[in-house]
Chain A
Amino acid sequence: MGYIELMDISKSYNKQSNVLNGIDLNIEKGEFFVLVGPSGSGKSTLLRMIAGLEEISGGTLKINEKIVNHLPPKDRNLSMVFQNYALYPHLTVEQNILFGLNARKIDKQVQKKRLEETAKLMGLSDLLKRKPRELSGGQRQRVALARAVVSEAPLCLMDEPLSNLDAKLRANMRIEIRRLQKQLGLTMIYVTHDQVEAMTMGDRIMVLNDGVIQQVGEPITLYNKPSNLFVASFIGSPKMNLGKAVLTDDHLIIEEELKIPINSTQIETNIKNKNLIIGIRAENLPLGSNGEETYEIEVVNVEQLGNETLVSFEVGSELWTAKWLGQWLGKVGDKVPVHISIENIHFFDAHTGNLIQAASNTNKQEVVKI
């Protein structure tokens, strides 16, 4: 029994084909739940249905064990932060924050107290008399958050709240939102199309594509055991290297180019001679050293990030990227040895795209943060 339960929820606009299909989901109280997916996958639609701004076409939605399908937004006891913040441009910061409390005719004394607390919490105390247009992007964002906080609703919905901010501010706000959520014990449903945001903020993540759930789980699980090719390539940056492969008796042949010897104990036998797609993360393609099985590759691009180096090379028709710690000073055209280990390879069914076997080596010793 979760705090929010979605049972076989579906949605179609104007009686056309479904934009969401069979969504089954439980969200626990106090959880930071992230909805992630590419543009047009139906994230906003799902969030707006939970908020009550959009009609639910099929299925049941429960909040706090009560069916709420029919309830208008104001009776669902939640707050929402919109992508463009939806601040009232003609009202001051103070009036913006108090708009909801005023609408609900909450006692003036209580309003004042809550305003003071919230403004202090969000660092807005000095800005209360300003209009939204006199604020910076980050400050507007904080006003939008303050409006959600001041309502004291236990459930908070956010639709891509950071997408209008620059990268540095975004990193700050990620931490601020996360801290606020823990501090107030809010249940949060957070929509983003940015997998970094999803990985860094979520207790659990749901990956959505074309209105269908791809996978629900903890960030690390999604990273280590992506249940299909979509999740594999969506989560992680740079994205997972993929390639067609076939498994013979003692070799794995990738893109008819790389031939990796295996011993049969490492692989489930039932995938032999099937059409496979294999995946390997960029950080699992280290520069080869002596005494290891290595493959010669030709560098086609080098990206220096300062603390690490991204090196691209071609494998058959695919462009793969390796991530090496530190500053590697090679050049385009160099031939370098790369080590590929069978424990780091994920196996996917080429037809269905589903995971057959995840990599047995899970990077536990490394910090998986980007």
Chain B
Amino acid sequence: MAFYASRIIQILPYFLKGLLMTIEVSGISLILSTVLGFVLGILRTADSKLITRSIGVYVDVMRGTPFVVQVFIVFFILPSWGLQLEPLPAAILALTAMTAAFICEVVSGGIKAVPKGQWEAAAASGLTRMQQLRLVILPQSMQTILPPLVGQYVLMIKDSSVVSVIGVTELTRVGWQTVVRIPEGLMVFTLVGILYFVICYPLIRLSNYLEHRLSLQTVKL
């Protein structure tokens, strides 16, 4: 036991550095994918068939291919098209592109869940399309959007482990690097798992709380 403890103290600094990198990659991707996902989700509900179909194709491709393949494409294929990225920006680009597709679906689903009469009432009073969306539709959609949105963040943090394959020294890669050097393999990946859980768990609770609040509100209305 004492042996384990000293081992943990020995390796912990590396793991914390890995954890910080995981938080950095996920955090930046979270912000970017939220912005991009909302823009795509809003455009997905637009009138133009060309726009909605193009976004639909994009979303299907992102949802229908393994994330690890997407990461390889960004890191190894894009350079041959002239876009050469360091591992960290490549990881952020891949995570953002994938998560934005899922957020797009969450957002457009939330917007479509608002009854058509709300758009009509807002339009009839002279509000522009952007005002209708901002003042009337989105505030009502947020209730349905928030719980699955936070759920997407959890999935993204876990998927960020995949970017270890292109050499981003985040938590999972630190795990791989450590496990080849010391004999306690089980302990290493248990620690990796615990550290992921520590950042994901509050978000899971938040998502559950938002969902619970939503169901209460639906009962009230």
**Same assembly:** no
Name A residues whose Cβ lies closer than 8 Å to a Cβ of B: none
